[in-house]
Each structure stands twice: as C-alpha cells, then as structure tokens.
Amino acid sequence: MKILFSDAFDPSLPGKLSRFGEVTDDKSQLADAEVILIRSKTKVTKELIDQAPKLRLVIRGGVGLDNVDVETAKTKGIQVYNTAEASSVAVAELAFAMMIALPNHLVEAHQSMSEGKWLKKELKRTELYGKTLGLIGCGRIGKEVAKRAAAFEMRVLGYDAVSVESPHIKMVKELADLLPQCDYLSLHLPLNPSTLGLIDKKRIAQMKNGVYLINTGRGKTVVEEDLAEALKSGKIAGYATDVWYSDPPENTPLRGAPNTLMAPHIGASTTENLLRIGEIVEKLIEKFVAEK
C-alpha cells in the first residue's frame, strides 16, 4: 500500500505510518497512491482523483472538507475523513491571542518601537474585562473561545444556525440582535452558501461603532472590501484575521487598511495539534487496513 503525504504533517508521522506500507511525499507517485494525506494546500479535485486510479482513502488533517470534491470521491468508492476534533484548542488560542493583541495595540507598539518612536501617550489600551463578546458560529472552536472569555470575565453572546448548549454562552436567535450589543466579534464559521459574504456592509452597519472583529474561520465569510472601508472610517476599530480568500491572498484590500492584524493561516499549526492530528490519522489508517 502506498501512502502519499501531499501536504506537511508532524515530521514524526511518516515514520509512524511506515508499518502500514510505503510512505512517500513524491507527488509524481499519485497514480500508485492508495492513501493520500492532505491539509489545506492540496485540492482533491475531480482532475486529481482521475489521476489516482488506486486511491481508496483521503484524510484531511484539519477541520472541514472544502478542499475535497467529496461527491466525486463517493462515486469512486473513496473514503474521505478529516480530523475535525483535533484543532479546537489551537484555533481558539489564536483567536484569543488576536483578541488580546488588538485592543492592546501590540503590533503598533512593537512596530513604533522598532522605528525608534515612543508612543506612550498615543497608544491608549482598552480591557477585555466586562466587555461583550459575540461568537458567530458556536461549534467546537466557538465554545473553546467562550471558556477563555469567561475566564477574562467577559459577557459572551452567541449566534449559530443550530441550537447550541454551552454554560459560557448566552445564545441569541438573530444575528441582527447580536451585532449591536458586542464590543468584540469572533467568527467561527465554515464556508458554505449561507456564510459566504455574511459579514458585509449591511451587517457592519448593524455593529457598534469601534467594534473589534476577529476571524479564524474562513476568509470568504467576510467581504474584504467592506471591512477595509469600515476600518478606514473607524467604524471597525480593528480586524484580526488568519483566513483569506486564497492562501496566500492576492491583492487583498486589507493589506493597506489601518488597524489590521494579519496571520498566514496558522490557526491549526501548533506543535501539540500536529501531534493530535497525527494520532487521528494513524487510527484512521489502522481501521482502513483492518477493514480491507
């Protein structure tokens, strides 16, 4: 059995998987691969599947399957899995790091010091304590963020398409009811037709003036042009994002916008999470081999 590593996983994983067969990261061997391991970069399209006649198992190390043509895979009898439960803490910690960095002006403080400036009077910070956080998408990651916000004594409101139970979140029925109440908003949505461009001009107008927005979900759930406008006008006080229209982004208006904090899609990339993902991948392959 040939196992193809098409994207980067924990460096210890290829060794661990060698007990199941031949392990390679040479993409020219796609035609012989029975198992292919991907993260965000590789797109398992119909074209890729057509070039892999022996393919029986695709495992995506991460949340979501938006880079896999699941329908085509199904029709060819290819099993598709992700490791959805592994990444929640890693992403929640990044969202929280961003939520702390924005109102403390950590980027500006560092940059100005590097440039020899002393902005002690200019950099006015605000606290998370006592503020209202709105979570848009209250699944695994949203709930982990809520726990951390509760420890900072924030009031946490949540909006989700399905009913959610969390001791740390007070759920509201409509997004329009949530937006005007929040000092901070954190997006934890998948990309689907109902979330594409959800945060646009109209939604931004419903937000409090000077709101901070954090996005570690999916880039296309926001309209970047509308956010850039709102950042320029000060309607949004800061936008921190890990996610983009494409990886890496091309010509994003956010690059020139004020008060942005940008990360290169590193939400899942903690050492601990890569090990957790590896453990799940190993179990899935073990099960696949046992059922062969």
Binding site for ligand NAD (CB under 6 A): 62-64, 84, 87-88, 91, 137-142, 159-162, 188-190, 192, 194-195, 216-218, 242-243, 265, 267-268
Beta bridge partners of 22: 2
To the nearest whole angstrom, how small is the minimum distance from the Cβ of residue 36 to ligand NAD?
20
Q: How far is the CB of 91 from ligand NAD (least distance, A)?
A: 4
Nearer to ligand NAD, 2 or 168 (CB): 168
Of 132 and 273, nearer to ligand NAD (C-beta) is 273
Please state, in angstroms and rounded to a whole number, the distance separating the CA atoms of residues 194 and 13. Answer: 36
**Smaller CB distance to ligand NAD: residue 58 or 94?**
94
Question: How does DSSP assign 237-282, residue by residue?
Answer: EEEEES--SSSS-SS-GGGGSSSEEE--S-TT--HHHHHHHHHHHH
* Minimum CB distance to ligand NAD smaller for 88 or for 252: 88
CB of 281 to ligand NAD, least distance (A): 16
C-alpha angle 160/162/168, rounded to 5°? Answer: 55
SS3 66: coil
Find the shortest distance in angstroms from Cβ 76 to ligand NAD: 25
Closer by beta carbon to ligand NAD, 1 or else 145: 145
Rg of the chain over all Cα atoms, to the nearest angstrom: 21
List the structure tokens of 137.
Answer: 């998408």
Pairing type for strands 57-60 and 35-38 reads parallel
Residue (of 211, 216, 215, 218) closest to 191 by Cα position:
218
Find the residue with minimal CB distance to ligand NAD: 139
Question: Shortest distance, CB of residue 131 to ligand NAD, whole angstroms?
Answer: 22
**Element (DSSP H or E) covering residue 232:** helix 224-233
Instruction: Give residue 270's Cα distance to chain centre.
Output: 13
Other Cβ atoms closer than 10 A to 62: 22
Residue placing its CB nearer to ligand NAD in the complex, 33 or 185: 185
Cα 252 to Cα 247: distance, rounded to the nearest angstrom: 11
Residue nearer to ligand NAD on the CB measure, 261 or 268: 268
- Across the strands, what pairs with 213? 185, 239
Please state the closest distance from residue 83 (CB atom) to ligand NAD, in A: 10
Least distance (Å) between residue 193 CB and ligand NAD: 9
